[in-house]
Structure 1
Amino acid sequence: MADPERSGAAAPAPGAGRAGQAADAAPSAVSAAAPPEAAGALALFAWLSPSFPVGAYAYSHTLEWAVEAGDVTDEASLAAFLGDLVVLGFGRSDGILLAHAHRAAAAGDGVALAEVNELAVALAPSAELRLETCQQGRSFLDAVRAAWPIPALEALAPTLSGEVAYPIAVGLAAGTHGIALPATLEAFLLATAQNLVSAAVRLAPIGQTAGTRVVARMAPRVRALAAEIPVLTLNDIGSATFRADLGSFRHETQYTRLFRS
């Protein structure tokens, strides 16, 4: 048997005799200590997934009231209600706000970011809808900072120390991580539609298959809206869904509720 000391071969490290277990541990430790990197577009799948911890399942954005009032009773009425909310209502406004937050974040402009967030919070038409956007915004920002921290995000996040509107938080995360605005807008708007369809399925006016058809029908409208938004200014923000906004006030005193908005 060769003598390691005489042959010049390195003696194995203590505890490394079982299939190189100790040798495998070192790269893992190095990897865990590696500096954080920008997440890339793949992160959008995680950030806008129903499983991302923002509490989206707790809100219906007035849909529960619409079901109670008889405005949404089947697949067709849900598609009409949803299309108006996303294209003519809060979805469009949130998209414009997200775009401005994204640009401010990409430029490292904390002042502009804080200003557009202040506007976004102020535009919430009711207490419930303000709670919806701010609770989700804060939860989203905290989760992204915990799992995808990068210096650019950490530098700007303190400018949003109070209430954070959800589209602002998404714009901040995507902008600092270098995720393109068009992809961010399409993903955000489609996720908005999917969350509302999920609420409709739980409220039982439609089933899962019908809900999937509604999402598929919304996709072209979402794509067109996402293409329109980048050239719009904050002066272009507006809504034509007054009945839904008034419904959010009525939902506050609705006798039975599954959702917080």
Structure 2
Amino acid sequence: MPTDPRLLTLTQWLSPSYPIGSFAFSHGLEAAIAEGWITDADTLQTWLAGVLTQGSGRSDAILIWTAYRADTPDTVNQIAEAFSPSAERRREAQRQGAAFARATCDVWGIDLPDLMLPVALGRAAKLVDLDPGDLVALYLHSFASNLTQAAQRLMPLGQTGAQCVLHHLTPVCAQIAHDTEHSTLDDIHSNAFLSDIAAMRHEGLEPRLFQS
């Protein structure tokens, strides 16, 4: 049975080569490492698992699902902006979402306004008729991969250690995609308090490598 080309489109959107500048953002990870909250592969894996299951990862999954189902993305985007715990987090999602919209409009010829990244992804998937469940799982995996790569630049993790972390987070990403399928905007919350605090502290961190 041939591979569904729509799955390949999703992998293209969520590839590090897609021009949204995700490599420039650490999602507060840089501040967390500077504070000594993350020191090795085990603490990195625990941190990222918490962000995925209890923090912005889960929230982004819900935003993708709801943006996909919505007639228009406006309300979903307003909620996404309102739930950003820091100015840098909001800017991170805005800049990546705007870059995603520009590239995707040019390539696929769709009408996609500048939106927060998860909202833009959900809306684009609806317009191009892609599977939202696959999108959520791949987005979370890409999100974890980007942060793992950021950690490699910030601490002595190594390539093998980084890949072990990502390997253990893979089933977590798939489970979140399944668990959030029927969620609504009312289900958005964050219990990953240290992650949100790290995002706030990063705004005053000097020197730094990342924009968030």
Amino acid at match of 1:143: A
In structure 1, list runs of 5 or more residues that go unmatched. Answer: 1-38
In structure 2, list runs of 5 or more residues that go unmatched. Answer: none
User: What is the CA-CA distance between 1:66 and the residue it aligns to?
Assistant: 0.7
Kindly indicate whether residue 33 of structure 2 is the aligned counterpart of residue 67 of structure 1.
yes
1:69-148 equivalences in 2 (<5 Å): 69-104=35-70, 109-110=71-72, 113-148=73-108
1:187-206 equivalences in 2 (<5 Å): 187-206=138-157
1:101-250 equivalences in 2 (<5 Å): 101-104=67-70, 109-110=71-72, 113-149=73-109, 153-154=110-111, 157=112, 160=113, 164-250=115-201
CA contact (8 A) 1:67 1:205 kept: no
Compare relative contact order (CA 8 Å, sep 6+) and give the higher one, 1 or 2. Answer: 2
User: What is the CA-CA distance between 1:204 and the residue it aligns to?
Assistant: 2.4
CA contact (8 A) 1:53 1:140 kept: yes
User: Equivalents in 2 of 1:70, 1:145: separation in Å?
Assistant: 41
Amino acid at match of 1:51: S
User: Equivalents in 2 of 1:189, 1:228: separation in Å?
Assistant: 13
User: What is the CA-CA distance between 1:118 and the residue it aligns to?
Assistant: 1.0
CA contact (8 A) 1:72 1:205 kept: no
Q: Deviations over 1:26-55 (max 9, x none)?
A: xxxxxxxxxxxxx72211111100111101
* 1:58 aligned partner: 24
User: Equivalents in 1 of 2:194, 2:7: separation in Å?
Assistant: 36
What value does the CA root-mean-square deviation take over the aligned residues? 1.1
Q: Taking every aligned residue pair, what percent have the same amino acid on both sides? A: 38
User: What is the CA-CA distance between 1:199 and the residue it aligns to?
Assistant: 0.4
User: Equivalents in 1 of 2:206, 2:8: separation in Å?
Assistant: 42
User: Equivalents in 1 of 2:130, 2:180: separation in Å?
Assistant: 16
Correspondent of 2:8 among 42, 64, 67: 42
User: What is the CA-CA distance between 1:174 and the residue it aligns to?
Assistant: 1.0
User: Equivalents in 2 of 1:185, 1:40: separation in Å?
Assistant: 14
User: Equivalents in 1 of 2:130, 2:7: separation in Å?
Assistant: 5
Q: How many residues align?
A: 208
- Segments ≥4 residues shifted beyond 2 Å: none
